[in-house]
Structure 1
Amino acid sequence: MSGSDVTAVGQHPPAKLVIAISSRALFDLDESHRVYEEEGIEAYCNYQVEREDEPLAVGQAFPLVRKLLNINSLLQDKATIEIVLLSRNSADTGLRVFNSIDHHKLQIRRAAFTGGERPFPYAKALGAHLFLSANADDVRLALDSGLAAATIFLDRKADEEGREKPEDTQLRIAFDGDAVLFSDEAERVYQSEGLEAFEKSEKESARLPLPGGPFKQFLAVLHQIQKELPAEKSPIRTALITARGAPAHERVIRTLRSWGVRIDEALFLGGIDKGDFLKAFGADIFFDDRHQHCQSASRHVPSAHVPHGVSNEK
């Protein structure tokens, strides 16, 4: 091993963010999926092989992936962002997916084609910090294994209307708080005892940091990458957009401070619908644990459901 391969004593290795994404989240595979559902696996395989030289149209997560990969050119080896593809396709039918990656000039080099088996176990093996999929069952299992994961809403109309402008290169990621960035302990109080008890509990616990939720580590790695460039020139901007309001805001602020993590914007909406605020922020993706909140938000911005916590136990 040469000296250039070894990190010098006292230096920190460059931050690395790895996101695993399913082929249905990256590309529009609705028609292919319809063939599979209505005609079976053999017809699906024939359909894909016959069209392997026809590039797939972009999917809901495509603009997000493109922005993530474009950030690498700004980081100049200070940090790296890698996208890995996970697909239930076989290698044979997956050739169309790889050809489409090449057509769209995406720098994706690692992939796992599982031939119908669940692909999420390979996310951890590939070092992923986040798994995005259109398959809700795979997402739940990934979350149960300790990996941040979310189900992309495949809203094609929103995709067409909300596509990024060419000059819009900054990546904007918005998070809900409870059961996403934080644990669901406060949400459990709210659902079992009501708003008054929730606010009283949060006020009394204002100086006690909330335990981390499934997306705590993902946010921490984003923060590491943000620190590599001046804040005013950062290619990544984050926002906390939560239904919390005063007096439940203080515990959130102190929790993030105790983690040493920067959130660029924080909106405490006190129960107001989040859609217009997400649109104003210009989110490239929004993560929330409430299915109905994601459904509402998806009319404005790409959204992803995090099926974690008490709201998803019923």
Structure 2
Amino acid sequence: MTKLSSRKLIVAISSRALFNLDESHQVYEKEGIEAYRSHQRSKEHEILPPGGAFDLVKKFLKLNEGRKPEDALVEVLLLSRNTADTGLRIFNSIRHYGLNIIRAAFAGGNSPYVYANAFGADLYLSLNPEDVRQALNTSCAAATIWPGSKTCQVEDALHIAFDGDAVIFSDEAERVFKTKGLEEFNKSEILSANEPLADGPFKGFLMALQRLQKEQDLPIPIRTALVTARSAPAHERVVNTLRQWDIRIDESLFLGGLSKAEFLKAFKADIFFDDQKMHCETASCEVTSAHVPYGVANEGAK
């Protein structure tokens, strides 16, 4: 039996993140499953417009250009709550746009997040926050695409930006900040400067990106950035942690509490991952952002 190569970066994407299914979703919400089924069948040959993660998916797939299928660097999978019957419109749209997506799981009304781990996904993107939470609970890097009007920033490169605490790293430091304030946070980070932070939910995805960056003759370069509200002296622990993990990030921005949106625009981020909704909201004015519902900032949130 064929297995997905551990060398590949595997990205799982929900149908509503890949395509704009707002109209169909409204039919489902207001009129129920039977009306939704009829709606999808009646529009089976109408091509869906791109969704929030469409341009990002195109760039991931662009990394396979010039390679044989067995040597592909990236695999994109479709995970959907549809049935295969109602999902036929989705595959017609995939074919129309020339997206090389051949594997899919149609969960027939159930949450499809369980198949992200079954496929060995390094990343799962969805518009359903509860699906994303469940995926994070299974140790899969997952995020909710945040609505925004701007997506692809530059055609000939893939730029991915991350917040630090509760995204790349655990929320242990952020928990000190939330409970004891900035002064105690800085004291704690100075004392722990040489003690690596624990893993966050996106460490594995970042490592997979770094593995791709080492490949020869990539069709487009991959560039990563850490964009964090931390400032000196709290930066030292972050640098030492990345050294301990043997992870190189191309650009690191320690903003000391400044708004991240303009810096993400300057970096030309194709997507930005953050654990706090307010940062995702402001960032989405300039770039596509994605909320990671993990850590102390999301405890008790629905």
Q: TM-score under structure 1 normalisation?
A: 0.91
Kindly indicate whether residue 203 of structure 2 is the aligned counterpart of residue 211 of structure 1: no
Q: Structure 1 residues 75 and 242, CA, compared in 2 at 3 Å: closer, same or farther?
A: farther
Match of 2:160 in 1: 173
Q: Cα gap change, 1:79/1:43 in structure 2, threshold over 3 Å: closer, same or farther?
A: closer
In the alignment, residue 223 of structure 1 is paired with which amino acid?
Q
- Equivalent position SS for 1:286: strand
SS at match of 2:230: coil
1:202 and 2:194 equivalent? no
> Once the 2 structures are TM-superposed, how far is the Cα of residue 183 of structure 1 from its aligned partner?
0.3
Decide which of 86, 89, 97 is 1:96's aligned counterpart: 89
Shift of 1:91: 0.7
Separation in structure 1 between the aligned mates of residue 67 and residue 268 of structure 2, nearest angstrom = 23
Q: Name the structure 1 match of 2:61.
A: 69
Cα deviation, residue 221, structure 1: 0.7
- Per the alignment, residue 284 of structure 2 pairs with 298
Secondary structure of 2:231's aligned partner: coil
Q: Report the counterpart of residue 9 of structure 1 in structure 2.
A: none
Unaligned runs of 5+ in 2: none
Partner residue of 1:58? 50
Is residue 252 of structure 1 aligned with residue 235 of structure 2? no
Which residue number corresponds to residue 40 of structure 1?
A: 32
- Within a 5 Å distance, the mapping from 1:1-314 to structure 2 comes to 15-73=7-65, 80-155=73-148, 158-159=149-150, 162-164=151-153, 168-229=155-216, 235-314=221-300
Query: Percent identical across equivalent pairs?
Result: 60
Cα offset, 1:228, TM superposition: 1.2
* Cα distance, 1:207–1:75 mapped onto 2, change above 3 Å: farther
What SS does the corresponding residue of 2:65 show, helix, strand or coil? Answer: helix
Residue 78 to residue 235, structure 1, CA distance change in 2 (3 Å):
farther
Q: CA RMSD in A?
A: 1.9
Q: Matches of 1:43 and 1:306 in 2, distance apart?
A: 33
Indicate conservation of the 8 Å contact 2:194/2:240, yes or no. yes
1:84 touches 1:111 (CA, 8 Å); kept in 2? yes
Q: Number of matched residues?
A: 297
Measure, in 2, the Cα distance between the counterparts of 1:169 and 1:284: 11
Tell me by how many angstroms 1:39 deviates: 1.2
Q: Which amino acid in the other structure matches residue 266 of structure 1?
A: S
- How far apart are 1:169 and its partner, in Å? 2.2
Are the equivalent residues in 2 in contact too, given 1:14–1:80 (CA < 8 A)?
A: no
Q: CA deviation at 1:256?
A: 0.7
- Superposition TM-score, scaled by structure 2 size: 0.94
Q: Compute the displacement of 1:69 (Å).
A: 0.1
Q: CA deviation at 1:26?
A: 0.3
In structure 1, the residue corresponding to 2:240 is in which secondary structure?
helix
| Structure 1 ranges of 4+ moved more than 3 A | 74-79, 162-165
Matched AA of 2:141? A
Superposition deviation, residue 73 in structure 1: 1.5
Alpha-carbon shift at residue 163 of structure 1 (Å): 4.3
Q: Which amino acid aligns with 1:146?
A: S
